[in-house]
Amino acid sequence: MSTRGRRHRIIVPPLVGLLLIVVTLVTREIDQPDQTDRGFLSPVASGDHGGSRLAASLGERGVLVQRETDTVRALLATRPGPATLFVPAPELLHPRTVSYLGLLPGGTRLVLVDPPRRVLAAAGLPLRPAGRRWAARAVSPHGVDRPCPLAEVPPAATAAVARQRYAPTGPPDSVDLCYGGGLARLPGAAESVVVGASDPFRNGRIDELDNLAFATGLLATSGRVVWLDLDGPAPPPPEPSPAPTRPLPDRDADLDERGDPEEPDSGGDGETAPGGRPDGEAAGPEGRDSAGEPNPLWSAFPAWFWALLLQLGLAALLVAIGRARRLGPPTPEPLPVSVPAAETVLGRGRLYQRARARESTARVLRTATLARLARRVHLPAEAPPATLAATVAAGTGDRPDAIHELLYGDAPRTDRDLLELAGDLDRVARAGESSPARPVTDPPAQPRLPKPRSEGDPR
């Protein structure tokens, strides 16, 4: 087998494996939703990235789910009594309202799903991102050094939480880390829980592992969940906005600026039945208001369509690369026109030089020299190498082993070795032309004389 063939067998399998890994990573990344997607973890969205199944599970346990589409109204909804404020898309929060998350009343649990660094800093949470994976990893709640203090989560509940890991910025005892650092709990009068992945809450992944038990137990501690369902980047709060050092604006002050929040309007929703839908709401295909902005082109097609389109484009690129450059050795092809011999030799030589095909070049030179020498010494083409080498050596005066190495030896390693081989082959071929004539086995045929004509022959 040639060196080039061995090289292909070594290089091609790792390249194919690398291609499969890249396609898998790209497909998996497409499957990971973004917080800016329409219907992301909405309690009324039934798609794979929605949260309707989690809302229904909470309703079956008697938990009241109150959907709010306005940040200020969601904050005010936590004041009547113990409640859980669920913020599935912290990235959409307005910077001027994030600081209010640290001023929630006592008895409130704040649950943030994969918040960015700016939200952690603005909310006053002593946490920092400590590493991110390309996909969520399923881990058990307990760590190596100490168990997880979350009593509402089953001790053996394995959930896909560890995508974003967190680390405390202050004293280590002030933060409880569970699920390999993918869940951080900050105890206090108003408890805060940060979850590093959205997989346990989504419809498409909630049935995997113990995601359903984890998500339901995490949100069902107070009997009432205020679900902040943002359809896009949240607008700024009304002016004048309260300073972050003051407590949250009470309901009376908010009435003067915004009107009664109990009345249904386009800015928020009232209380819903457990896992149900607000009265009189017209939801779109993803559970959103029909008066919202039209879907862009990206959301007009499902995710599998874009993944298939990407794979087809990659296949077309590979076909184009395969047709643009041959991966095998050069093959002879008939020339469409007559080309002078010198130009043909020069062109083929440059092709061999560019491809660094020293082995192929040496094989061509040796084959041509063997054919010329075999015809000259009157030996068949299939003659044994030792016989041919001995016959040629007798005519040139060289040693038989040297002729054998020249005609049947190894391929040259460098261009200089190839040039020396070509010169030696040319010398042997020319020496064979000047060697004395070899005896002929059959005597020459005698000429036949014509018969004498007889008289009366018509010729």
Q: Is the pLDDT of residue 112 over 90?
A: yes
CA-based nearest residue to 292, from 230, 224, 376 = 230
Q: Highest mean pLDDT range out of 212-216, 283-287, 443-447?
A: 212-216
Please state the pTM of the whole predicted model: 0.52
Q: What's the confidence (pLDDT) of residue 102?
A: 81
pLDDT digits (tens, 9 = 90+) for 269-279: 444 433 443 33
> Bridge partners of 289?
283
Query: What are the DSSP calls for 445-458, one per residue?
Result: PPPPPPPPPPTT--
C-alpha 317, offset from chain centre: 16
Please tell me the predicted confidence (pLDDT) of residue 6: 63
Closest residue by Cα to residue 218 from 176, 177, 183? 183
Lowest-pLDDT range of 255-259, 428-432, 455-459 = 255-259
Q: Does residue 452 have a pLDDT over 90?
A: no
289 pLDDT tier (thresholds 50, 70, 90): very low
Cα separation, 129 vs 168, whole angstroms: 9
Query: Would you state the pLDDT for residue 361?
Result: 86
Q: Residue 84 pairs with which residues in a beta bridge?
A: 109, 225
108-113 sheet: strands from edge to edge: 64-68, 224-228, 83-87, 108-113, 191-195, 183-186, 176-178
SS3 call for 51: coil
Listed ranges 28-42, 215-229, 236-250; the one with the highest mean pLDDT: 215-229
Share of the chain above pLDDT 70, in %: 74
Q: Which of 182-191, 266-275, 320-329, 335-344 has the lowest mean pLDDT?
A: 266-275
- Nearest-angstrom CA–CA distance, 118 and 124: 10
Mean pLDDT (whole number) for 240-254: 47
Q: How far apart are the C-alpha atoms of 459 and 452, rounded to whole Å?
A: 11
Stretch 169-184: mean pLDDT? 86
Which of 99-108, 250-259, 324-333 is modeled with the greatest confidence? 99-108
What is the pLDDT at residue 240? 57
Quickly state the pLDDT bin for 328 (edges 50, 70, 90): low
Q: Give the pLDDT of residue 193.
A: 93
pLDDT given at position 54: 94
More confident residue, 288 or 375: 375
10 vs 107, higher pLDDT: 107
Q: What is the DSSP string of 123-144?
A: TT--EEEEEEEEEEEEE-S--S
Residue 152 predicted with pLDDT over 70: yes
The distance between the two most distant Cα atoms of the chain, rounded to a whole number of Å, is 155
What is the tens place of the pLDDT at every residue in 354-411? Answer: 888 888 888 888 888 888 888 888 887 678 888 888 888 887 778 888 888 888 888 8
Q: Place 429 in a pLDDT band, splitting at 50, 70 and 90.
A: confident
Answer for the pair 76, 248: CB distance below 8 angstroms, yes or no: yes
Q: What is the pLDDT of residue 148?
A: 83
Q: How far is CA 421 from CA 1, 350, 393, in A?
A: 21, 17, 17
Instruction: Give me 66's structure tokens.
Output: 């109150």
User: Is the pLDDT reported for residue 237 higher than 90?
Assistant: no
pLDDT band at 413 (very low <50, low <70, confident <90, very high): confident
pLDDT tier for residue 3 given thresholds of 50, 70 and 90: low
Q: Do 224 and 63 contact (CB within 8 A), yes or no?
A: yes
Q: Are 367 and 360 in contact (CB under 8 A)?
A: no
How confident is the prediction for the chain on average, in pLDDT? 76
